[in-house]
Amino acid sequence: MSSIPPPAAKKPSDKAARLVDVAQLAQVSRATAARALGGYGTVGEDTLAKVLAAASQLNYRTNVIARSMRAGRSLTIGLVIADISNSFFDRATRAIIDTAAEHGYQVLVINTDDSLTAEIDAVRVLLEKRVDGLIVVPSSPHHHEHLVGGDSTVAPLVLLDRRIPELSVGTISTDDHHGAAAAVRLLVSRGHSRIGMLVATAAVAEPTSVRPNEAVSTVSDRVGGFIAAMGEAHLQYRADWVRYTSVDHAKSTLAAQQILENEDRPTAILATNADMTLAVMDACRTLNLVVGHDVSLIGFDDAVWARVFTPPITVVERPVYEMGRSAALNLIAQIDSRSARSESIAFPTELIERESVRDFRA
């Protein structure tokens, strides 16, 4: 490449340099300067060197937001997550951020603590920030007015983990009905007939044996799979062996204790997420019960700690990273094509057997 003399010195200014200033100093057209700095089109090596030297001298910074807005996009995605402290949502968020970055998008994340009011406010804030699309973990199976505008959604939209039956929109979820049923079948195959369930849901304030009406689809699917598999094995469903509870650790541990303090307590419990798994383990510690011997335990989601506990915990694993990645790819495709909706995907679950289930057949 030939030697390019530096542009003539220019007096520093308090005013931010503009693209036209760079073009004038480099003695090229504004369009050429834009191509050189934007990394698109064809620009000769000598011209590129002159433009970069001029931009450096002027301390020019490309206004990415202004450029993207002129193109009709902000290159940002809004993510409305239910509980960022939950290991499932933590890993899903990482997958969404990673995948979005690969495609030139940034992600704005708002946590709702599974509150519908917070979710409505989060969607409003993200729309005001002109995000190109939304990935939402819905907190209600029925209330979705804030996601709809006229005959379509308020923005390109993908639901993550939970379905809204009345809303025709792409959803990335898992076959939790099958996962819960598989867990019960494993317990039955190991000789268990007294099986309980600890269910996480934001639809209740205090532990209860009464199934709430406002439970999200993951709760309905897991409870439905549990009940179906119990019926398949001709086993009794007992309300006193089931508790619905918030993820608050003190309350969920109390709920687990309520199940296990029965004189004819269940020999096994299915916990519907990692928080519930920890709650059962804590309750067993308080009651001097040994997990894997006095109480068998199967949890949903393979948290990083599940395999290192004693005993290692059997889990219904969901492909969390793949779900987050799929949600991001679906939304970006929807944004790029300007289509009305993305496709729905229900990933299969996998039952990972470890040592927390006692075999009564021996």
CA distance 121 to 123: 6
Answer left, alpha or beta for residue 16, where phi above 0 means left and psi between -120 and 50 means alpha: beta
AA identity, residue 171: T
pLDDT at 82: 95
Higher local confidence (pLDDT), 154 or 340: 154
> pLDDT by residue (tens digit) across 311-334?
999 999 999 999 999 999 999 999
CA distance 199 to 275: 10
> pLDDT by residue (tens digit) across 292-308?
999 999 999 999 899 99
pLDDT band at 34 (very low <50, low <70, confident <90, very high): confident
pLDDT at 284: 97
Those residues whose C-beta lies under 8 Å from the C-beta of residue 68, and which sit 6 or more positions away, are 74, 75
Rg (CA), the chain: 27
AA identity, residue 150: G
pLDDT at 92: 97
The residues with which 78 forms a beta bridge, in sequence order, are 108, 134
pLDDT at 55: 87
Give, as one character, the DSSP assignment of residue 295. B
Higher local confidence (pLDDT), 79 or 85: 79
AA identity, residue 107: V
Determine contact, residues 281/312, Cβ cutoff 8 Å: no
Average pLDDT estimate for 146-163? 90
> pLDDT by residue (tens digit) across 105-130?
999 999 999 999 999 999 999 999 99
Q: Which two three-digit tokens encode residue 127?
A: 């729309």
- Residue 353: count other Cβ atoms within 10 Å of its Cβ: 12
> Containing H/E element for 200?
strand 195-200
Domains identified in the chain and CATH numbers: 1-62 (1.10.260.40), 74-174+320-347 (3.40.50.2300), 176-317 (3.40.50.2300)
Higher local confidence (pLDDT), 57 or 207: 207
Higher local confidence (pLDDT), 209 or 51: 209
CA distance 267 to 274: 20
> pLDDT by residue (tens digit) across 37-73?
766 567 888 888 898 899 888 888 765 555 555 556 7
**Which of 28-42, 49-63, 265-279 is predicted least confidently?**
28-42
DSSP codes, 85-105 = TSHHHHHHHHHHHHHHHHTT-
Q: What is the pTM for the complete model shown?
A: 0.80
- Residue 249: count other Cβ atoms within 10 Å of its Cβ: 12
The residues with which 314 forms a beta bridge, in sequence order, are 298
CA distance 257 to 287: 8
pLDDT at 262: 87
Q: Whole-angstrom distance between the N-terminal and C-terminal Cα of the chain?
A: 79
- Is the per-residue pLDDT at 148 higher than 70? yes
